[in-house]
Amino acid sequence: MDASDLRPTARPSSERERSEHSEGSGGTPTLEFAEGVPYDRYVHASTLHSLQQTLSDDTGEMSFLMISQVMELYFGLTRYELREVQRLLREDDVWGTLLPLRRAALHIEALNAGWHGLRWMTPADFNRFRDLLGDASGFQSAMYRQLEFLLGLKTASLIRPFRRQPDVHAELAGALRSPSLWDDVIALLARQGHDIPADLLHRDFTEEHRSHPVVEAAWVEIYRDAGPDNHLRLLGEALTEVAEQFGDWRYQHLKSVQRAMGAKAGSGGSEGLGWLQRSMARVVFPELWSARTFM
């Protein structure tokens, strides 16, 4: 199916038309449509509900599969919001970034709730269908990797699994080479008059940003002004919420793995729990956290 076939379609209508229609029908909903149900044409619900194709008859696998799919959608939605934040940062519209950052934090909060739907899963429950997954692993999620790169957690080797998917690989390579959201924040601080070294602004963006005392000092200075017109401080708090929610997701992931499989090796070739524990040590927006020691 071509992507254009999934483009939502709907006939625009005005408030007046809706009111007239409701009055004419006596307030009852429309039950007949000439071109199919408009809701399905817009949301593609029938397509979404056709994608749950389990590998076993175990009823628990449906939960595992569907929650994984919902998480994929939230990864993409969060990335969409953070890309909008990047666009606004590059236009120096600090105030404008606050709403998409708030939405992104709420999306990640909803993403975190997905783990609750897997809290029933013991090792025995997982083992009933785990072998059928082969070497498939959430580690291989391209959209999650996109989100990590955007948040500044970059590792060049992690795009290698996608070499046989040229479009996916090219998009990931582009994300790896591009400034992260945090890089754009640091560039904004420089344009706002903070003394940011040139080597931070013109670095190799494929490398993960390392915490820098000058960036830390800039945030200490920003937070000294607690007034409502200090948009950079509001930006800092909005970014902190995103980082905190993302950290919660990583922790819930670790606990879910620990609950369902303990310290067994991961299906994607990693050591599983140990890999996730090391991943949690990488901090999103590091100077926003370290600066708080000096405020």
Residue 195 confidence (pLDDT): 95
Note the pLDDT of residue 189. 98
Q: What is the separation, in whole angstroms, between the first and last Cα of the chain?
A: 55
Please determine, for residue 4, whether its predicted confidence score (pLDDT) is greater than 60: no
The length of the chain is: 295
Residue 140: exposed, middle, or buried by beta-carbon count in 10 A (0-12, 13-18, 19+)?
A: middle
Tokens of 255: 């606990």
CA torsion sign for 253, 259, 262, 266 is negative
- The span from the CA of 51 to the CA of 59, in Å, is 16
pLDDT value, residue 1:
52
Q: Quickly state the pLDDT bin for 24 (edges 50, 70, 90).
A: confident
Is residue 28 scored above 90 in pLDDT? no
Domains in the chain, CATH or no CATH each: 60-294 (1.20.58.480)
The pLDDT tens digits of the residues spanning 172-194 come to 999 999 999 999 999 999 999 99
Per-residue pLDDT reduced to its tens digit, 117-141: 999 999 999 999 999 998 888 888 9
Structure tokens at 199: 């080597």
The number of C-alpha atoms within 13 Å of 61 and in the hemisphere containing its C-beta is 14
User: Does 102 count as an annotated binding residue?
Assistant: no
Give residue-wise pLDDT tens across range 38-63.
889 889 999 999 999 999 999 999 99
Distance, CA of 94 to chain centre: 21
Average pLDDT (217-246) is: 97
Q: pLDDT tens for residues 61-84?
A: 999 999 999 999 999 999 999 999
Average pLDDT, the chain: 91
* pLDDT tens figures, 190-224: 999 999 999 999 999 999 999 999 999 999 999 99
pLDDT band at 96 (very low <50, low <70, confident <90, very high): very high
- To the question of whether residue 130 is assigned a binding role by annotation, the answer is yes
Residue 194, helix vs strand vs coil? coil
Residues 6+ apart with CB under 8 A from 271: 263, 265
Asked whether residue 19 carries a pLDDT value surpassing 90, the answer given is: no
**Does pLDDT of 292 surpass 80?**
yes
